[in-house]
Amino acid sequence: MRISAAAHAALAASVSVRQNGGDGSKLDVGVWAPPGPNDIRSPCPGLNTLANHGYLPRDGRNIHISDIVTAMDQHLGIASDFGLVQVAGAAVRGAFSFLSDGGLGLESFDALTNSHNQIEHDASFTRDDLAFGSNVIKNTTQIESMIAHSEDGVTLTVEQIADARHARLKDSFSRNPSPRGLAARVVRQ
């Protein structure tokens, strides 16, 4: 079941204007640009991609829940009802707060970065465990290890992703003196 047309219309009032890119130039919505030195990014490659295209605020600040759900629906093909479920998962773990305009959302992507073991966790495919470095900046070696599970170097089947996930969990557990939660539970089994 998809959410109602009225809810859709409300959600549609999202990021739709040109914003400053990292170098200060005006960028149209949909144009990809890397974050500038003062822009904030998160541990989530999905949300970062949306921000790098201007579908979410390029500066990574004041991100309304409605912006996230609409951007996921319109630009990633993730239906709003499913998007709201994902948002709810982050909400119960305390990611969102009231913004200066009274809306609810992420004050900045830092709210996700600073949620270690609540939302952000060790054993990610694309980021280091927090004990070893940044849980935000991508680790190219780890990304290549994940892609190495693909037969054609382009696509990953569900089985290949599962294998990659298990390998990454084992890697984290073998090196990280303090892996918590999922990593420890899955690899010990």
Q: Which is nearer to ligand HEM, 15 or 95 (CB)?
A: 95
Q: Does 90 bind ligand HEM (CB under 6 A)?
A: yes
**With binding defined as CB under 6 A, does residue 120 bind ligand HEM?**
yes
* 41 makes contact with ligand HEM (CB under 6 A): no
Closest by alpha carbon to 3, among 81, 89, 88?
Answer: 81
Q: Based on CB atoms, which residue is closest to ligand HEM, 27 or 69?
A: 69
CA distances from 64 to 11, 67, 97, 178 (A): 10, 5, 10, 34
Contact region for ligand HEM (CB under 6 A) — 9-17, 56-64, 114-122, 174-182? 114-122
Residue 40 or 90 with smaller CB distance to ligand HEM: 90
One of 86, 114, 117, 160 touching ligand HEM (CB under 6 A) = 86
Q: Which residue, 15, 112, 20, is CA-closest to 59?
A: 20
Please report whether residue 164 would count as binding ligand HEM according to CB under 6 A: no
The residue among 33 and 44 lying less far from ligand HEM, judged by its C-beta, is 44
Return the number of the residue (27 or 169) whose C-beta is nearest ligand HEM. Answer: 169
Query: Which residue in 47, 63, 169, 183 binds ligand HEM (CB under 6 A)?
Result: 47
Provide DSSP, 20-74: E-TTS-EE-TT------TT----S-HHHHHHHHTTSS-TTSEEEEHHHHHHHHHH
User: In sequence order, what DSSP letters do the residues of 63-111 get, joined into one string?
Assistant: EEHHHHHHHHHHHH---HHHHHHHHHHHHHTT--EE-TTS-EEEEETHH
| Overall size of the chain counted in residues | 189
Q: Which stretch binds ligand HEM (CB under 6 A): 1-9, 52-60, 70-78, 173-181?
A: 70-78
Maximum CA extent, the chain: 52
- Where does this chain bind ligand HEM (CB under 6 A)? 43-47, 68, 72, 76, 78, 86-87, 90, 95, 112, 119-121, 124-127
